[in-house]
Structure 1
Amino acid sequence: MSLTEGRIPMPQSEQQPWEWDEQTWRGHVGHVRAGRSLTPDVWPGGARCAVAVSFDSDHETPALRDGETRPAKLAQGEYGARVAVPKILALLERHRVPASFFMPAVCALLRPQEAKAYTAAGHELAVHGWIHERNTSLPPETERELQFRAADTLERIGGVRPVGIRTPSWDFSPHTLAITREMGLLYDSSLMADDEPYELVEDGEATGVVEIPVEWIRDDAPYFMMERFASLRPYIAPRDVLRIWQDEFAAAYTAGGLFQLTMHPHIIGHRSRLVVLDELLAHIGEHDGVWFATHREIAEYCLTRHPAR
C-alpha cells in the first residue's frame, strides 16, 4: 500500500472540525489506535515488574532543525554529549541497568564514537529521526526517506540494525506507522494510549508492531526545560520529580506492569538532576522481582507471550 492509498482525505481548509461529517472524524480517530494489550502474564524469571529506561540523545539537533545556529544554543546540546553521556553510561554500569538510546542520525554522524559506545556497553541504539525533524510538517515521501536514511546510518555506525523508533518530539504523522511497518520495525515508543505495552492497529488492521507507551509525566523535559527568550522555565525542584517517578514506579510494581522512563542527556545530565536518576535507580533496585530491560527486550518478550495473529 502506498503512503496515501486508503487514507481518509483531509478536510477542506475552509472546514472547521465541527463541520466535519461523521466519516471524516471517525476516520481520523480510527486511523492509528491501540489494539490488544500485550502485557505478559509474567515477566522473565518470575519478575513482578519491568523497567525500561531510555534516553533521547538529541544534543544539538533540535536547534539545528529549527535553523538555530547560535553557538550559545548549540552549546546546550553539546553539554549532553560532552559531559552528560559519559556520566550516564557510568551510572548505568554501576547500577547494572541496560538502557535504550534513541539517537538522531545527525548526532551519530557528529560523534560516531558515542553511538558505538552505546552498543559496545550492551545498550540499545534506536531510531529518533534524521535531525530531530517534525514529522507532521513533512510530505510523506520526505518522512519516509529520512526514516530509512536514519536507520541505515545508525546501523552503519553502531553495527546493529535498529528495530525500534521513537519519533522526534513524539510527533507521529498520519504516515508514520505505515513507514514503520514498511521498514519491518519491531516497536514504536511515541504514543500514549496505555501504561502498558499494546499492539498498534492501523485502519482497523492489527499490525504486529508493539507500542511501548511514553508519557510526559515520565519525561524529564516538561519539568526541566529552559528557553531564554520564551516563557519556558523549570518549575519544579529535581527531588520533587524524583517523588513523582517513585510513585509511578510504585504503581507499576503493584500492578505487575511496566515502568517506562524517557530522559535527555542535556537535560537530566546536570548535577542536581543526575543525582535524582541515581537515587531512583537505587530505589528501584531495592525491590525484589524487577526486570531491567531495553525497549527491544520488552517488545520481544511481549510478542513471545502474545504472538502476532
Structure 2
Amino acid sequence: MLRFPLALLLACCPAILQAQAQPVPITTAKPGWKWTMDSVHTVVNEVRAGRSLQPAAWPNGSRVAVLLSFDVDNETIAIRYGEPTVGSLAEMQYGARVGLPRIMRLLDKHEIPASFFIPSVSLAITPSMADLIKKSGRHEFAVHGWIHELNMTLPDSAERALLAKAVAELTALTGQKPTGYRAPSWNFSPNTLAILRDMGFRYESSLMADDAPYELVQRGQPTGLVELPVQWILDDAPLFDPRGERYMNPRDVARVWMDEFDKAYEEGTMFVLTLHPHVSGHRSRIVALELLIAHIQAKGAGKVWWATHAEVAEYVRKASKLGEPRAR
C-alpha cells in the first residue's frame, strides 16, 4: 500500500501544518431525549433556512431553472484519508483522463452551461482540466475544498487555512476567482458558515432544506448568503457504486431525475443535479445524463433556463432584493 502522510500533503503550507497541530475538541454526545429545549433551539438555529428566494419568474419566460454541477474530485477521494492505493488512484484518475472529456463533449454538443466544483488539489494534479472547462466560455469554477477534506472534523484555523489556500490556488489555475462554495461531503462544521461569510462567498450549495433557493440564517440573523440546495436523490455517487448496497441501473436513476425535473417544471422551481466525472463519466452511466437532457429538451423546449450556479445566485439575489452578503 502506498502511504502519503498528512504532513507530506500539507508540507507546502506551514499555516495549515500549524493549524492541524491544534487538537479537535472531544465531546461526549448526549442523546436527544436528555436535551433541554434551550439546547435544541441553540443547535437547530446555528444554521437555518431563512426566507425563500424563489423568484416570481425565471428569465425569458422560463418555467424552471436547470443547474448542472460536477464535483471534480478525482484522486482527492483516494488521498484525503492519507492511505491511498495504486488501484484507488488509478480508478479516480479516470475522472480527469476519460470522464471529464466525455462529459464536456456532451455539454458542448447541446451548448449547456455547468458549474464545476473542484478541490484545488484535484486541479493541481491535472491542470489541463482548467483549459478544457474554460474552452467554451459557458462554465463556472467553484470551490469544493482543498483536498476534499472532512471539514466537519477540523478546527476553525485548519478549515479556514485550507479554504483560503483552495481559493488562491483555483484563482491562479483558472484565472477566475470563485464566488461559490460546496462543502466536501455536503456538510458544515460549527465554523463553516462563519468562514464563508468572512471570506466573502456569494452563494453556497451543500444543504438540503428546500427545492428552491433560500437565504442562509445564522443564529437567527440573515446572512445575505444564497443557498442553492442539493439532494442525495439528485447525486450520482450514492446509487452508481457497483460495490454498494444501493446500486441502481443508470437508466432507472435517469427516470428518477426525469420525475424530479417534471415536478420542478410543474412547480416553477429549480432543478440542481450533482455529478462526478469519475462516476458519471463512465460509458454506461453517461447514458443517464443523455436521457435526462433529451427529456428536458423535449418537455421544456423554450421554457428551460440552463444556467450556472453563479448566474442563478445573482439572479435570485437581485429579484428578491437580497443585497450583498453580510460579514459577521
TM-score range, shorter chain: over 0.9
In structure 2, what is the Cα distance between the partners aligned to 1:142 and 1:247?
A: 41
Match of 1:293 in 2: 307
Give the drift of 1:21.
2.2
Match of 2:247 in 1: 235
3-state SS, counterpart of residue 224 of structure 1: coil
Q: Which one of 107, 110, 116 corresponds to residue 92 of structure 1?
A: 107
In structure 2, what is the Cα distance between the partners aligned to 1:63 and 1:86?
A: 21
List alignment gaps of at least 5 residues for structure 2: 1-24, 324-328
Alpha-carbon distance change, 222 to 47 in structure 1, aligned in 2, over 3 angstroms: same
Q: Which one of 266, 277, 280 corresponds to residue 278 of structure 2?
A: 266
Alignment of 1:211-222 (within 5 A): 211-222=227-238
In structure 2, what is the Cα distance between the partners aligned to 1:81 and 1:234?
A: 25
Give the drift of 1:11.
10
Q: Which one of 178, 200, 203 corresponds to residue 162 of structure 1?
A: 178
In structure 2, what is the Cα distance between the partners aligned to 1:141 and 1:156?
A: 23
Match of 2:97 in 1: 82
Equivalenced residue count is: 296
Give the drift of 1:14.
6.6
Q: Which one of 209, 216, 233 corresponds to residue 225 of structure 2?
A: 209
Q: Which amino acid aligns with 1:255?
A: E
Give the drift of 1:62.
1.3
Write the deviation string for residues 264-294 of structure 1: whole angstroms up to 9, x where unpaired: 0011111111111112112112223100000
Q: Which amino acid aligns with 1:135?
A: N
3-state SS, counterpart of residue 305 of structure 2: strand
Higher mean C-alpha deviation, range 104-113 or range 13-22: 13-22
Residues 1:55 and 2:107 are matched in the alignment: no
In structure 1, what is the Cα distance between the partners aligned to 2:153 and 2:27?
A: 17
Give the drift of 1:46.
1.1
Q: Which amino acid aligns with 1:85?
A: L
Residues 1:196 and 2:212 are matched in the alignment: yes
Q: TM-score, normalised by structure 2?
A: 0.87
Cα RMSD for the two superposed structures: 1.5
Give the drift of 1:115.
2.1
Write the deviation string for residues 7-41 of structure 1: whole angstroms up to 9, x where unpaired: xxx99627443322222221000110000100111
Determine what percentage of the aligned residue pairs are the same residue.
Answer: 51
Alignment of 1:165-176 (within 5 A): 165-176=181-192
Match of 1:38 in 2: 53
Q: Which amino acid aligns with 2:74?
A: H
Higher mean C-alpha deviation, range 248-257 or range 217-226: 217-226
In structure 2, what is the Cα distance between the partners aligned to 1:279 and 1:14?
A: 45
In structure 2, what is the Cα distance between the partners aligned to 1:175 and 1:12?
A: 16
List alignment gaps of at least 5 residues for structure 1: 1-9
Residues 1:111 and 2:105 are matched in the alignment: no
Check conservation: 1:95, 1:282, Cα contact below 8 A: no
3-state SS, counterpart of residue 223 of structure 1: coil
Check conservation: 1:84, 1:270, Cα contact below 8 A: yes
In structure 2, what is the Cα distance between the partners aligned to 1:197 and 1:252?
A: 12
Give the drift of 1:235.
2.1
